[in-house]
Amino acid sequence: MSMSKQKNMSDIIFQYCKDIKLPTIRECFQEQIESANIRDLSYETFLAELLQKEWDARKQTAQFNRIRRAKFPYKKYLEDLSVKDLPEDAQKKYKQLKTLQFIKEGRNLILAGNPGTGKNTHGDRIGHQSL
């Protein structure tokens, strides 16, 4: 394919991606084409990988937007939790909490404990977890 024809096709692909709102594909399709050529990918594999990138980006954006809309006063991460400071029963349940299986099962998580134990503040401890 001639360089001008290839440039024209890239412009067309870019415009389609813009019109149908595929921002990740629009940003990376040329790189993906080069990679597919080097790795000698089938059309199906190339397309699947390209769509996977778009899907991953949308999933990440959706997660970010849900967290933003929730307007949490503080961001807390399990990785930041000092497990050794937890009561013994909470330390045992921490492993179960970390799997997030309760979400998949549609179960609730109740954080309970004395005031100041860090259930909903920027503190670092959780008094008790009921799973």
Mean per-residue pLDDT pooled into runs of 10, the chain (131 residues): 73 95 96 95 96 97 92 79 81 84 86 68 41 43
Instruction: Give exposure, 14-30, as e/b (b: 16+ Cβ within 10 Å).
Output: eeebeeeebebbbebbe
Question: Are 11 and 50 part of one and the same domain?
Answer: yes
Question: Are 17 and 60 part of one and the same domain?
Answer: yes
pTM summary value: 0.60
Question: Are 52 and 21 part of one and the same domain?
Answer: yes
- Whether 126 contacts 117, CB under 8 Å: yes
Q: What is the pLDDT of residue 2?
A: 60
Range of 119's domain? Answer: 78-130
Bridge partners, residue 111, by sequence: 129
Angle at 66 between CA 61 and CA 67, to 5 degrees: 100
Total structural domains within the chain:
2
Model pLDDT for residues 12-50, shown as the tens digit of each residue: 999 999 999 999 999 999 999 999 999 999 999 999 999
Question: Are 12 and 65 part of one and the same domain?
Answer: yes
Fill in the amino acid letter for 29. Answer: F
Question: Are 14 and 62 part of one and the same domain?
Answer: yes
Residue 5 sits at φ, ψ, to 5 deg, of -70, -40
Determine the straight-line distance between the first and last CA of the chain, rounded to whole angstroms: 61
Question: Are 13 and 66 part of one and the same domain?
Answer: yes
Q: What is the pLDDT of residue 108?
A: 84
The whole-angstrom separation of Cα 126 and Cα 113 is 7
DSSP assigned state of 129: E
